[in-house]
Amino acid sequence: MLKKANAANIQNWLDKINTYNSTPDFGTTRVLFTECEIEAREYVKSEMKKLGLIVREDSIGNIFGTLVGSQPNLPLVWTGSHIDTVLNAGMFDGMAGVVGGMEALRLIKESGIKFNRSIEVVVYTSEEPTRFGLCCLGSRAMAGHLTLEDTKKLKDENEKTLESVLTDLGYDLDKFKDIQVKKGQVFGAIELHIEQNNKLEKKGLPVGIVKTICAPTNYSVEVIGCQSHAGGTSMEDRRDAYTASCEIALILEKLALKCNSEYNTATVGRVEVIPNAVNVIPGKVKFSIDIRDCEFETKTELIEELIKEIKKVEEKRGVEVNLIKENNDVPMKCDQTIVDILRESCEEKKIPYDMMISGAYHDSMFVGEFTPVAMIFVPSKNGISHSPDEWTDYEDIALGVDVLAKSLLELSNKEKL
Ligand code: GLV
Ligand code: MN
Ligand code: MN
């Protein structure tokens, strides 16, 4: 019999990981390969070893902790998430899935139940785009969408390339090709994650099962107007890069609101106004656009409309708009058989659940390109995430882990999907 997950264990691990934090006075910040992130990696690896897992790391820092099954040559079962964060984040986004995976493996190991396929908890490198501006670096490389050449082009704000950061840390880039996971190597994967929306809380449900993961398209935008005197330049004569940017942001919002996809979002999250002075009309504005959708087609239509509208803003306001597409990712449908296993696990454990769409992206979006995936969500208090106010009750994570452990065991003993 599988024992119930231990909420205190989960809390201890999360609390300890949360001590590796570069902004302890305002939420949690743990940016890829900074001192605290490296320390958190070492801590997680040491806890995996204490659980009796075999630990290895690939050339981009994806960490694997293996619980060896009775048929270790069969394709593996995966669970896991990430431990890097956005700036001033909470202590659950990503970490709940890593710690939840470790707790699930502990339950399986201690139950003494025979399981065939080995089960691995994976810590994916840099799910957040915080340092290099591109999300899901580890899982993207696994899926073959991030090459060694790409690591030479990705730069952080100090112009350091991902390649040089990896080299300095001693990762063997001669083995970069080995990061890619071939179809058939992994049997299936289940990621546990906090919901980052308020739907479970509103319905009073402890668990969500994800049917589709929305994927982002990201642009860096540069609007060039004419820097000039705030008093001296008449209203009709100005080419204000900031008001043009605001108009683009509002158009984007309008397009997202009228889009008839089942779930979509659009956000301008980073804005840089140049020169950023009280009495100067901004000559240049740089900002980010983040568009998500559960369907690639509706996302593409929205982008085409946005580009048309931006042309009109350029003409009307006499500004130049340069759009740089950073990524254009494809939404992932979760695997129906694994979804059914999750539903059955919930039903057997009498845990009420709902089916849902993930508006946030996850490493499973890329993992799903080489193996069937599904996800378990646990409730986020007030739906808040990417914020110091992010919260999920440990008992809810424990319920999610109960579903996870049962489902991983099922997958491990399943012949085919
Ligand atoms: C991941 O953190 C996302 O932005 O969806
Ligand atoms: Mn996140
Ligand atoms: Mn996450």
Residue 348 alpha carbon to ligand 1 centre in Å: 31
Residue 113: its pLDDT value, please? 96
- At residue 374 the predicted structure's pLDDT band, cuts being 50, 70 and 90, is very high
Please report, rounded to a whole number, the percentage of residues in the chain having pLDDT higher than 90. 100
Residue 411: its pLDDT value, please? 98
Question: Which numbered ligand comes closest to the C-alpha of 358?
Answer: 1
Q: Which residues, in sequence order, are bridge partners of residue 401?
A: none
Average pLDDT over residues 113-137: 98
Average pLDDT over residues 125-139: 97
Residue 229 marked ligand-binding = no
Residue 93 marked ligand-binding = yes
Q: What is the mean pLDDT of the chain?
A: 98
What is the rounded distance in angstroms from the CA atom of residue 159 to the CA atom of residue 173? 20
Looking at the CA of residue 292, tell me the nearest atom of ligand 1. 5
Residue 379 alpha carbon to ligand 3 centre in Å: 14
**Residue ranges around ligand 1 (CB below 6 Å):** 128, 360-361
Residue 137: its pLDDT value, please? 98
Cα angle vertex 223, ends 222, 224, to 5°?
Answer: 115
- At residue 400 the predicted structure's pLDDT band, cuts being 50, 70 and 90, is very high
Residue 393 marked ligand-binding = no
Average pLDDT over residues 113-141: 98
Residue 92 alpha carbon to ligand 3 centre in Å: 8
- At residue 189 the predicted structure's pLDDT band, cuts being 50, 70 and 90, is very high
Residue 347: its pLDDT value, please? 98
Average pLDDT over residues 33-39: 98
Looking at the CA of residue 386, tell me the nearest atom of ligand 1. 2
Per-residue pLDDT of 39-67, as tens digits, reads 999 999 999 999 999 999 999 999 999 99
Residue 192: its pLDDT value, please? 99
For residue 409, report the phi and psi dihedrals to the nearest 5 degrees.
-60, -45
Nearest-10 Cα torsion for 220, 226, 227, 230: -120
Helix (H) or strand (E) holding 121: strand 119-123
Residue 126: its pLDDT value, please? 98
Residue 74 alpha carbon to ligand 3 centre in Å: 29
Residue 104: its pLDDT value, please? 98
Secondary structure letter of residue 374 according to DSSP? E
Average pLDDT over residues 179-204: 98
* For ligand 1, atom 5: residue with the closest CA: 360
Residue 415: its pLDDT value, please? 97
Average pLDDT over residues 73-93: 98
Residue 57: its pLDDT value, please? 98
30, 196, 210, 357, best to mutate for ligand 1 pocket (most atoms within 8 Å of CB): 196
361, 375, 380, best to mutate for ligand 1 pocket (most atoms within 8 Å of CB): 361
Residue 128 marked ligand-binding = yes
Residue 208 alpha carbon to ligand 1 centre in Å: 17
- Residues lining ligand 2 (ion), CB within 5 A? 93
* For ligand 1, atom 4: residue with the closest CA: 360
Residue 41: its pLDDT value, please? 99
Residue 109: its pLDDT value, please? 98
Per-residue pLDDT of 275-322, as tens digits, reads 999 999 999 999 999 999 999 999 999 999 999 999 999 999 999 999
Question: Which numbered ligand comes closest to the C-alpha of 82?
Answer: 3
Contacts 24+ apart (CB under 8 A), 48-56: 48/102, 48/121, 51/102, 51/105, 51/106, 51/109, 52/109, 53/105, 53/121
Question: Which numbered ligand comes closest to the C-alpha of 387?
Answer: 2
* For ligand 1, atom 2: residue with the closest CA: 128
SS (H, E, C) the chain: CCCCCCHHHHHHHHHHHCCCCCCCCCCECCCCCCHHHHHHHHHHHHHHHHCCCEEEECCCCCEEEEECCCCCCCCEEEEEECCCCCCCECCCCCHHHHHHHHHHHHHHHHHCCCCCCCEEEEECCCCCCCCCCCCCHHHHHHCCCCCHHHHHHCECCCCCEHHHHHHHCCCCHHHHHHHCCCCCCEEEEEEEEECCCCHHHHHCCCEEEEEEECEEEEEEEEEECCCEECCCCCHHHCCCHHHHHHHHHHHHHHHHHHCCCCCEEEECCCEEEECCCCCEECCEEEEEEEEEECCHHHHHHHHHHHHHHHHHHHHHHCCEEEEEEEEECCCEECCHHHHHHHHHHHHHCCCCEEEEEECCCCCHHHHCCCCCEEEEEECCHHHCCCCCCCCCCHHHHHHHHHHHHHHHHHHHHCCCC
Residue 164: its pLDDT value, please? 98
Residue 243 alpha carbon to ligand 3 centre in Å: 33
Specify the pTM.
0.96
32, 131, 292, 362, best to mutate for ligand 1 pocket (most atoms within 8 Å of CB): 362
Residue 227: its pLDDT value, please? 98
30, 128, 326, best to mutate for ligand 1 pocket (most atoms within 8 Å of CB): 128
Domains in the chain with CATH codes: 7-214+331-412 (3.40.630.10), 216-328 (3.30.70.360)
Strands (E), 199-257: 207-213, 215-224, 228-229
Residue 226: its pLDDT value, please? 98
Per-residue pLDDT of 324-352, as tens digits, reads 999 999 999 999 999 999 999 999 999 99
